[in-house]
Structure 1
Amino acid sequence: MNASGDELAPEVRAILDAARERPGGDTRVTVDARSFSDAVDAAVADGRVPIISEVKPTSPTTDGVRDDDPVELAREMVAGGATALSVLTEPDHFGGSTDSLRRIRDAVDVPVLRKDFIMREEQLDVVESDLVLLIARFVGEDLPALVEAARERGFQPLVEVHTRDELVAALAAGADIVGINNRDLGKLEVDLGTFEELAPEVPDDVLLVAESGVKTVEDVRRMREAGADALLVGTAIMDGNVRENTHSLSTST
């Protein structure tokens, strides 16, 4: 079942309330997606840590707003060695936009993840991307249908989980890309031990992404040793020179 409002931090409740009200697209999209698994394999073959670098102007858990041109930020991230990009399209709390995602995807040649709070199938049809985020906690029993709907359009669904029950639900829904979020979206607390606890229960044929809380080279190594095939990093890259920060984390073998 979906998380109840009582279990969520006020910031998260506000995000979900806004997400439920946002419309879907007028026409069904069809995506010719760039393969995320191939990009991960290529990074590893090149001796790099597969990093999904996140274009995140702001968020409820960060201070200030980064107002650089998102396309230039994306290009700098790719130049620094990003394997893929995560682009926020949530407008009200993260400063994201679908227009930024379109422009970024046109400007780079790596897979691009649409990071948003998708609640209904028609919200998949707002913009093309290579991957789309589905958060198990928030879509609940609709997860299998949303995974199927995403694949029918050509998206590669990245199913995000935080608990063992959510992981079981994701695997039952057929997810082959799973993100374990170290941040408890109910309390907004971060614990890298979350990934370490759940990762051993993920089958080898599932591509596993560690999300949230990765700030240092040591954190990258810790998540890789725990079984992360790739890492999604936002704030630690957006704080400062994004090319240098991406390069530092992607070469921390």
Structure 2
Amino acid sequence: MMDANGEELAPAVRSILSAARERAGGDERVSVDARSFSAALADAEADGRVPVIAEMKPTSPTTEGRRDDDPVELAQAMVSGGAAALSVLTEPEHFGGSMAALERVRDAVDVPVLRKDFIVEEAQLDLVESDLVLLIARFVDDLPGLVTAAEDRGFQPLVEVHTRAELDRALAADADLIGVNNRDLGQLEVDLDTFESIAPHVPEDVTLIAESGIGSVADVRRMREAGADALLIGSAIMDGDVTDNVRQFTTA
């Protein structure tokens, strides 16, 4: 199976994308009154915190085991640690996520919540309300159309890229919130050089997020020095005491 760029994907990612393409959309168009992500980042900076999007990820193809804590308790622990926003997996088959978990989390916290999923069609935006929604450039054929569809519903779309070519597509789609995934979805290998190589080509008025592979305070500082406005951190937060883990990154 190929991605939107005509390139091969890792077997685990092919399975994820195949399931995503078969997943039905919502029956009614949603309309979201979103919490401002830019304001959340500004609040974190003003408070002296590194802006961190803490990701709630029960499991994944690249991690061992599964964590089945109550989503609301996890979310509140993350916010207590200083998370500027939360990311909630809603992909059920490979990541153990659910729409219900996202709804419960968003009701329980005041920070913006990102829906982390593999959305390939407009109707899939209508499955649940969130403040931000992830759109992976590598998986989306009509990126401008999906960005516009998300914005029309009130979402703040976070467009994820891994290459310069994908960055160019994201900018052409007028994305003003871009995440650079340090993980190559073709090989599932992580390289923080990816962010450092792409960041210099991102316009100043775009909010830039470093994603994947951030596992230490040194990694946080490295990504910030390279131009990251915020960091999305999952596995390193979910492994152990969530509040303490978030705090170490937000105070890096």
- Partner secondary structure for residue 231 of structure 2: strand
**Equivalent in the alignment of 1:40:** 41
Aligned residues between the structures:
250
Is 1:74 matched up with 2:61? no
Which portions of structure 1, spanning 4 or more consecutive aligned residues, are displaced by more than 4 angstroms? none
**Equivalent in the alignment of 1:186:** 186
Q: TM-score, normalised by structure 2?
A: 0.98
Measured after TM superposition, the shift of residue 243 of structure 1 is 0.3
**Equivalent in the alignment of 1:160:** 160
Measured after TM superposition, the shift of residue 7 of structure 1 is 1.0
| Letter aligned with residue 11 of structure 1 | A
* C-alpha distance in 1 between matches for 2:136 and 2:116: 10
Percent of counterpart pairs with the same letter?
Answer: 72
Counterparts in 2 of 1:14-29, with a 5 A limit?
14-29=15-30
Measured after TM superposition, the shift of residue 3 of structure 1 is 4.2
CA RMSD of aligned residues (A): 0.8
* C-alpha distance in 1 between matches for 2:139 and 2:119: 9
**Equivalent in the alignment of 1:213:** 213
1:45-102 Cα deviation digits (max 9, x unpaired): 1100000000000000000000110110010000000000000000000000000000
* C-alpha distance in 1 between matches for 2:35 and 2:236: 25
**Equivalent in the alignment of 1:120:** 121
- Unaligned ranges ≥5, structure 1: none
- Unaligned ranges ≥5, structure 2: none
* C-alpha distance in 2 between matches for 1:3 and 1:52: 28
* C-alpha distance in 2 between matches for 1:54 and 1:236: 9
* C-alpha distance in 2 between matches for 1:17 and 1:7: 13
Q: TM-score, normalised by structure 1?
A: 0.98
* C-alpha distance in 1 between matches for 2:186 and 2:55: 21
1:139-198 Cα deviation digits (max 9, x unpaired): 03x100000000000000000000000000000000000000000011100000000000
**Equivalent in the alignment of 1:151:** 151
| Letter aligned with residue 35 of structure 1 | S
* C-alpha distance in 2 between matches for 1:33 and 1:186: 33
* C-alpha distance in 2 between matches for 1:2 and 1:168: 14
- Partner secondary structure for residue 15 of structure 2: helix
**Equivalent in the alignment of 1:59:** 60
| Letter aligned with residue 122 of structure 2 | E
- Partner secondary structure for residue 19 of structure 1: helix
**Equivalent in the alignment of 2:223:** 223
| Letter aligned with residue 248 of structure 1 | Q
| Letter aligned with residue 2 of structure 1 | A
